[in-house]
């Protein structure tokens, strides 16, 4: 590996659950007959490091001159969540390795570990023709089913095994219905983790993570339950606690001004004018243009002119825009605005927004934001998608909700979420 080497791990004592995950494949464990292993459960429960170490120990002690699959949701997530701890573990134990970054593979001894992102619907095509001795899949519940099936099918070497980990998703997710619920039938060893299985976490840290999620996300990420989101997306919204009068706004001189934009041409276009005092997002006004209802579509130039009027000519504003709105972002930059691409992960963004709503860290001026307040009460989970194992909100009357999610998920730092 070129460049500065990562620091070795200062390993804490492993919990019984972590030791079980690390050594399930060894002869005499009572689990060695399983071909697949899944570690699922709460965030920060210690499953990832234990599983990476398990995969390394198994592959290096069982095979030489073989190919392996190592997959993450995206290439960036793979580097952050798998390769970084993997390299630190290898440094800790003094095992030499070479990361061939441009070739998307890591060589350890005579074994080659091929790296894949599984975020695209056609990602399974990258695996075509490969013969692997094993696979490691990080956050497998976020993979397309086609990639998982292809990954398992590619592991055709005698003695091959598949290692997977994830946080829970919905009750109808294919990992729950087709893997966990059929574990014995398909040869899967499943270990369920909680935060108690990570001995490195202090009680203070556990409590801070528990405060980071609400509703269904608390049950999934903190309790580690496979439960589905139903009904309202933001049931914690309170019209008294999450709104304010214009006279309650903090002085603008004490805040940063932001604008969150959900861009639309055929669909509505929304601007949210926000004051950020470091503790609360104060939404003091909204712009909502529904081209279908008004029977007039606006151009990028017209929307940019409307934004200028909406902001009273103020250009010292951070404008957060859906990253797909390329032409509108160009128009804004040409007019001198500071534009930031919104983080657009829907599920994670909803989880962040829900915490801020529940903590009363979002407050909208009630008589200036009628569309936002109308949408927040009608923003529902898609029941048909839930029954297909997907968790997503209905794509109806959600444009102010998208702008709100862009604001929260892009700008809410960790300290804000944990207050």
Tens digits of pLDDT across the chain (419 residues): 445 678 776 777 899 999 999 999 999 999 999 999 999 999 999 999 999 999 999 999 999 999 999 999 999 999 999 999 999 999 999 999 999 999 999 999 999 999 999 987 777 888 988 999 999 999 999 999 999 999 999 999 999 999 999 999 999 999 999 999 999 999 999 999 999 999 998 999 888 888 888 888 899 999 999 998 889 999 999 999 999 999 999 999 999 999 999 999 889 999 999 999 999 999 999 999 999 888 899 999 999 999 999 999 999 999 999 989 999 999 999 999 999 999 998 988 999 999 999 999 999 999 999 999 999 999 999 989 888 888 889 988 899 999 999 999 999 874 454 44
What's the angle, vertex CA 227, arms to CA 222 and CA 228, rounded to 5?
125
Picking from 65, 85, 208, 231, the residue whose alpha carbon sits closest to that of residue 133 is 65
The secondary element (H helix, E strand) that includes residue 351 is: helix 346-358
| Alpha carbon distance, N-terminus to C-terminus of the chain | 40
Cβ atoms within 10 Å of 200's Cβ, excluding its own: 14
| Domain formed by 243-417, architecture | 2-Layer Sandwich (3.30)
Share of the chain residues as helix, strand and coil, in percent rounded to the nearest 5: 40, 20, 40
Task: Tokens 């909100």: give the residue.
Answer: 393
Token code pair at residue 377: 């009460």
Contact 35, 160 (CB under 8 A): yes
When the candidates are 3.90.1150.10, 3.40.50.300, 2.60.40.1120, 2.40.160.40, the CATH number that belongs to 16-213 is 3.40.50.300
Same fold, 16-213 and 243-417: no
> 164 - beta bridge partners?
38, 137
- Please spell the DSSP secondary structure of 363-414, one letter per residue: EEETTT-HHHHHHHHH-BB-HHHHHTT---B-SSS-HHHHHHHHHHHHH--H
SS3 at position 315: coil
Q: Give pLDDT, residue 412.
A: 82
Picking from 356, 358, 376, 392, the residue whose alpha carbon sits closest to that of residue 170 is 392
Q: How far apart are CA 374 and CA 348, in angstroms?
A: 23
Token code pair at residue 220: 């999934």
Q: How far apart are CA 172 and CA 270, in angstroms?
A: 33
Q: Give pLDDT, residue 414.
A: 47
CA atoms within 13 A on the CB side of 8: 10
- Listed by start position, the domains of the chain span 16-213, 243-417
Q: How far apart are CA 152 and CA 272, in angstroms?
A: 46
């Amino acid at each position: 590996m070129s460049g500065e080497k990562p620091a070795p791990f200062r390993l804490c004592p492993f919990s019984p659950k972590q030791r079980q995950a690390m050594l399930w494949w060894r002869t005499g464990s009572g689990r060695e007959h399983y071909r697949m292993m899944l570690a699922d459960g709460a965030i920060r429960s210690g499953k990832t490091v234990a599983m990476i170490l398990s995969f390394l120990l198994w592959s290096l002690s069982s095979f030489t001159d073989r190919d392996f699959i190592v997959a993450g949701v995206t290439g960036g997530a793979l580097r952050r969540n798998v390769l970084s701890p993997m390299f630190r573990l290898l440094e800790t134990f003094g095992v030499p390795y070479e990361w061939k970054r441009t070739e998307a593979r890591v060589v350890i001894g005579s074994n080659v570990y091929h790296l894949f992102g599984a975020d695209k619907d056609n990602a399974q095509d990258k695996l075509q023709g490969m013969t692997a001795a094993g696979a490691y899949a990080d956050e497998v519940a976020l993979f397309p089913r086609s990639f998982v099936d292809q990954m398992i099918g590619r592991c055709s070497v005698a003695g091959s095994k598949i290692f997977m980990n994830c946080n829970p998703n919905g009750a109808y997710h294919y990992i729950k219905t087709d893997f966990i619920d059929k574990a014995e039938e398909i040869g899967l060893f499943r270990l369920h983790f909680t935060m108690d299985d990570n001995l490195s976490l202090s009680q203070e840290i556990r409590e801070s993570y528990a405060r980071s999620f609400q509703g269904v996300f608390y049950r999934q990420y903190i309790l580690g339950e496979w439960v589905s989101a139903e009904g309202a997306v933001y049931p914690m919204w309170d019209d008294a606690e999450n709104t304010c009068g214009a006279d309650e706004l903090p002085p603008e001189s004490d805040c940063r001004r932001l604008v969150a934009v959900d861009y639309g041409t055929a669909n509505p276009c929304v601007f949210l004018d926000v004051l950020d005092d470091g503790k609360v997002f104060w939404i003091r006004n909204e712009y909502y243009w529904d081209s279908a209802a008004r029977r007039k579509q606006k151009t990028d130039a017209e929307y940019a002119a409307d934004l200028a009027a909406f902001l009273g000519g103020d250009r010292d504003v951070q404008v957060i825009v859906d990253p797909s709105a390329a032409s509108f972002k160009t128009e804004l930059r040409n007019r001198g605005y500071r534009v930031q691409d919104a983080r657009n992960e829907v599920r994670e963004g909803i989880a962040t927004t829900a915490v801020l709503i529940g903590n009363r860290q979002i407050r909208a001026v009630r008589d200036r934001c009628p569309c936002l307040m109308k949408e927040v009460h009608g923003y529902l989970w898609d029941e048909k998608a839930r029954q297909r194992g997907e968790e997503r909100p209905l794509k109806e009357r959600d444009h102010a909700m998208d702008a709100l999610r862009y604001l929260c998920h892009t700008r809410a730092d960790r300290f804000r979420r944990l207050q």
